[in-house]
Amino acid sequence: MSDAANPHAPDSPRSSQSPPPSGVQGDLELELLGVATALYNLGTTVINDSTKERDKPKQVGARANDVVRQLAMVDDMSQGIRTMVPQQVLSDIDDSRNPLQLTKERLERAATENQFMNGKIAAIESYRNLLNEALAKNFPETAEYIHDRRSTPTDRI
């Protein structure tokens, strides 16, 4: 699929064609892209070197050094950034889970639990209204107090 047909990078909230943000975070994003490129180059070099003739000099060491150099740059740049990343997000990434998918699942779960809780609240309010009507009918002397309580917004659950 071409970039023109897909305006967003996979798993990215921004367009793949948009420039990185300015400042330290933009520089860090570019360095992280460099790390990804270096890792990709290392992987392709390992595959190519293992399939070629065994007597030729190997390029894996140089590619591994590129990855280490890129990671050292990211580590140096990280000292100037105060953005905190929750440990759970890092654990999910280490476990090969997509943070965007996890966020979607958690939001859907929260919405489901919210609907369930709203149903409970509606059921309790309905029960309270029926109970108040029955109390007012069977104990008419309490009717004025029950009706006064029903109209106060602080009485809601």
Ordered by start, the domain boundaries in the chain are 22-83, 85-151
Q: Can you state the percent helix, strand and coil of the chain, rounding each to 5?
A: 70, 0, 30
Predicted structure pTM score = 0.47
Whole-angstrom distance, CA of residue 17 vs CA of residue 7: 7
Mind listing the pLDDT tens digit for each residue in 47-106?
Answer: 877 666 666 666 788 889 999 999 999 888 888 788 888 888 888 888 888 888 888 999
Q: State which of 7-21, 45-59, 117-131 shows the largest mean pLDDT.
A: 117-131
Predicted confidence (pLDDT) at residue 157 exceeds the cutoff of 50: no
At 98 the pLDDT is 86
CB atoms within 10 A of CB 7: 11
- DSSP state, residue 155: G
Q: What token pair was written down for 18?
A: 């948009």
Q: What is the pLDDT of residue 1?
A: 42
DSSP H or E segment with residue 154: none
pLDDT at 92: 86
Query: What are the CB-based long-range contacts (under 8 Å, 24+) for 57-61?
Result: none
126: its two tokens: 């309905």
Q: Pick the range with the lowest mean pLDDT from 34-48, 62-76, 135-149.
A: 135-149
Q: How many CB atoms lie within 10 A of CB 125?
A: 14
pLDDT of residue 144: 86
More confident site: 126 or 18: 126
pLDDT of residue 4: 47
Res 103: pLDDT: 87
